[in-house]
């Protein structure tokens, strides 16, 4: 079995942290919209990164704006889609970004090895077994796939640009750009009246969840991504990120007592195998 280097392990840890967000989001959506949750988590994350903001150079702000916008588009596409399709279908369609990353790299002139493509296909298959169901909705499916494409472009661009920036400065620029854009999005979507009621809707449990989402899952993990993807190619990182729904299913089973079917367990094992397979030989160098 190939030995996983520390940067791969760092990205695996990030997927574990993101997996914990599933039950937190499930609880928070009882009182907050998806738009409000996204905006608040990025505002909290930006507050955490505030000590570094004055030292961020102009070229980092430029890349941070592009990267942050791509992430926000992925959140918008997924959030809109979830209004019309099930979370399982959304998870499956979102997972297509795993395959989109090597395909985008190929279209830009790179030549990923066959192992990368096989691992990406297996990861999508595994997530499909875990989460796919019926209930097609053309517009919702399209926006969810658009969100997946935006995140695939983010992963590809991050691997290419991360080496040109100091990791905490790049994370800071992304957080502030997403907080600004997310705040505008929240005002446009919810309206000023709904935003003014936020303090009454934030109980201790939801506030604690938002702090985790902002401090750990956003500020911390975006910094970790900026560090690790300096050394891990985009297409390999995409396969690793396929572990997120595996951890999400695990924590939903442990925390929310949601059923983990035999089919889902088999799908999870296939995703784990895909991640290991992606390490069998070096993946393509970052674009």
Q: What is the residue-wise DSSP string for 223-277?
A: HHHHHHTTTS-HHHHHHHHTHHHHHHHHHHHHHS-----HHHHHHHHHHHHHHHH
* Residue 261, pLDDT above cutoff 50: yes
Q: What's the domain count of the chain? A: 1
CA–CA distance, 270 with 249 (Å, rounded to integer):
14
In this prediction, residue 180 carries a pLDDT of 93
In this prediction, residue 1 carries a pLDDT of 46
Q: pTM of the entire structure?
A: 0.79
Tokens 């990030």 appear where? Answer: 14
Tokens of 283: 């993946």
Tell me whether residue 60 is exposed, middle or buried, using C-beta atoms within 10 angstroms of its C-beta: 0 to 12, 13 to 18, 19 or more: buried
Distances (CA, A) of 249 to 19, 89, 110, 199, 239: 8, 14, 34, 31, 17
pLDDT, one tens digit per residue, over 50-98 is 999 999 999 999 999 999 999 888 877 877 777 777 666 777 777 788 8
Percentage above 70 pLDDT, the chain = 90
- Go through the chain and tell me how many residues it has: 287
Asked whether residue 118 is domain-assigned, the answer is yes
Q: How many CA atoms lie within 13 A of 21 on its CB side?
A: 21
In this prediction, residue 87 carries a pLDDT of 66
Asked whether residue 284 is domain-assigned, the answer is no
Asked whether residue 100 is domain-assigned, the answer is yes
The helix (H) or strand (E) run that includes residue 45 is helix 34-48
Tokens of 244: 């997120």
Asked whether residue 286 is domain-assigned, the answer is no
Asked whether residue 155 is domain-assigned, the answer is yes
In this prediction, residue 286 carries a pLDDT of 41
Asked whether residue 168 is domain-assigned, the answer is yes
CA–CA distance, 229 with 160 (Å, rounded to integer):
8
Lowest mean pLDDT segment, chosen from 115-124, 143-152, 161-170, 210-219: 115-124
Asked whether residue 252 is domain-assigned, the answer is yes
The helix (H) or strand (E) run that includes residue 36 is helix 34-48
Please give the residue range of the domain that contains residue 46.
Answer: 6-278
In this prediction, residue 233 carries a pLDDT of 84
Asked whether residue 48 is domain-assigned, the answer is yes
In this prediction, residue 133 carries a pLDDT of 63
């Amino acid at each position: 079995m190939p030995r996983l280097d520390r940067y791969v392990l760092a990205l695996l840890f990030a997927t574990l942290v993101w997996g914990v967000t599933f039950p937190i989001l499930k609880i928070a959506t009882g009182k907050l919209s998806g738009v409000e949750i996204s905006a608040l988590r990025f505002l909290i994350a930006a507050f955490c990164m505030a000590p570094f903001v004055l030292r961020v150079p102009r070229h980092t702000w430029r890349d941070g704006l592009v990267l942050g916008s791509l992430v926000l588009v992925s959140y918008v596409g997924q959030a809109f889609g979830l209004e019309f399709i099930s979370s399982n279908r959304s998870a499956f369609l979102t997972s297509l970004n795993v395959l989109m990353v090597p395909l985008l790299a190929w279209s830009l002139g790179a030549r990923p090895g066959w192992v990368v493509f096989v691992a990406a296909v297996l990861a999508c298959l595994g997530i499909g077994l875990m989460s796919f169901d019926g209930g097609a909705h053309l517009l919702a499916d399209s926006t969810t796939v658009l969100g997946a494409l935006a995140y695939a472009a983010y992963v590809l661009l991050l691997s290419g640009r991360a080496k040109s920036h100091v990791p905490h400065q790049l994370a800071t620029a992304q957080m502030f750009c997403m907080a600004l854009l997310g705040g505008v999005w929240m005002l446009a979507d919810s309206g000023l009246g709904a935003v003014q009621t936020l303090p009454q809707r934030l109980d201790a449990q939801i506030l604690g969840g938002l702090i985790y989402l902002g401090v750990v899952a956003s500020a911390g993990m975006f910094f970790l991504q900026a560090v690790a993807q300096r050394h891990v190619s985009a297409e390999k990182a995409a396969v690793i990120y396929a572990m997120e729904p595996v951890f999400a299913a695990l924590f939903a089973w442990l925390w929310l007592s949601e059923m983990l079917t035999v089919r889902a367990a088999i799908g999870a094992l296939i995703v784990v195998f895909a991640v290991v397979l992606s390490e069998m030989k070096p993946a393509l160098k970052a674009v």
